[in-house]
Chain A
Amino acid sequence: EADIYQTPRYLVIGTGKKITLECSQTMGHDKMYWYQQDPGMELHLIHYSYGVNSTEKGDLSSESTVSRIRTEHFPLTLESARPSHTSQYLCASSERGHRLAQYFGPGTRLLVL
């Protein structure tokens, strides 16, 4: 069973606040990902990492930033939250190799007022 955790699960916050969404996995996976999903829309890749100190932007432009200082931890930060950031954010991880399935966390639902 996959062990990938996200906190918080739900977050309601005011405009202008700095927020960090946490993602941790205990499987030792090198690859980690952040996806964003607006209601009724597809999952879009916003960030990914192939290992420690490696981060890349995905195909959907995002004002968020990520860091990968430890293998198991891949936090996403918004320096100044805006209502347009309201969405669901899912973290995932996978082993090396491009044909391997991704394991997803339960997601964080963010509402910016």
Chain B
Amino acid sequence: ILNVEQSPQSLHVQEGDSTNFTCSFPSSNFYALHWYRWETAKSPEALFVMTLNGDEKKKGRISATLNTKEGYSYLYIKGSQPEDSATYLCAPLAYSGAGSYQLTFGKGTKLSVIP
């Protein structure tokens, strides 16, 4: 099982603030990195799947970068809104043998945006 660290564990920001959080993962045996947003009482929803070192992805006010050589990814939210309140999960995809690839999830960063 991979060691995936997400920081901070939780975060409270004011509406309109920009914020970012980190996902660290082993750089060996890396295949892809997934980011998911999980709102309370809903299903986790995919934000990004990133594969290449230096990748940057953007979806509205949310963007992410990837450094596969050092094993980290940053997620940025510009001008946070209350609807951004959720737990953000990262999950590296690694080869697990016998033709299988598995996601290993971090514990997530819980973001609360205060109106």
Same complex: yes
**A residues engaging B (CB < 8 A)?**
2, 4, 35, 40-45, 48, 56, 58-60, 90, 98-107
Report if B18 contacts A (CB, 8 A).
no
- Contact in complex: A102, B107 (CB < 8 Å): no
> A43-B89, A59-B1, A59-B96 are known contacts. Are A102 and B103 too (CB-CB below 8 A)?
yes
- Contact in complex: B44, A90 (CB < 8 Å): yes
In Å, the complex CA distance between A2 and B102 comes to 21
In Å, the complex CA distance between A43 and B87 comes to 12
B42 surroundings in chain A (CB, below 8 A): 106
The secondary structure that dominates the A interface is: loop
- Contact in complex: A104, B102 (CB < 8 Å): no
Return the contact of B107 from the options A35, A40, A56 (Cβ within 8 A): A40
In this complex, what residue of A is CB-closest to B104?
A59
**B residues engaging A (CB < 8 A)?**
1, 4, 31-32, 34, 36, 42-46, 49, 51, 89, 91, 93, 96, 100-108
Given contacts A48-B102, A99-B49, A106-B43, 16 further A-B contacts (CB under 8 A): A42-B105, A42-B106, A43-B91, A45-B104, A56-B100, A59-B1, A59-B96, A60-B1, A98-B32, A98-B93, A98-B101, A102-B46, A104-B44, A104-B45, A105-B43, A107-B43
- Contact in complex: A45, B103 (CB < 8 Å): yes
Q: Measured between C-beta atoms, what is the minimum distance from A3 to chain B in Å? A: 11
A43 surroundings in chain B (CB, below 8 A): 44, 89, 91, 105
Most chain B CB within 10 A, of A60, A90, A98, is at A98
Return the contact of B49 from the options A45, A101, A107 (Cβ within 8 A): A101
In Å, the complex CA distance between A2 and B43 comes to 10
B34 surroundings in chain A (CB, below 8 A): 101-102
In Å, the complex CA distance between A106 and B105 comes to 17
B32 surroundings in chain A (CB, below 8 A): 98-99
In Å, the complex CA distance between A60 and B103 comes to 12
B93 surroundings in chain A (CB, below 8 A): 98-99
Return the contact of A104 from the options B1, B43, B51 (Cβ within 8 A): B43
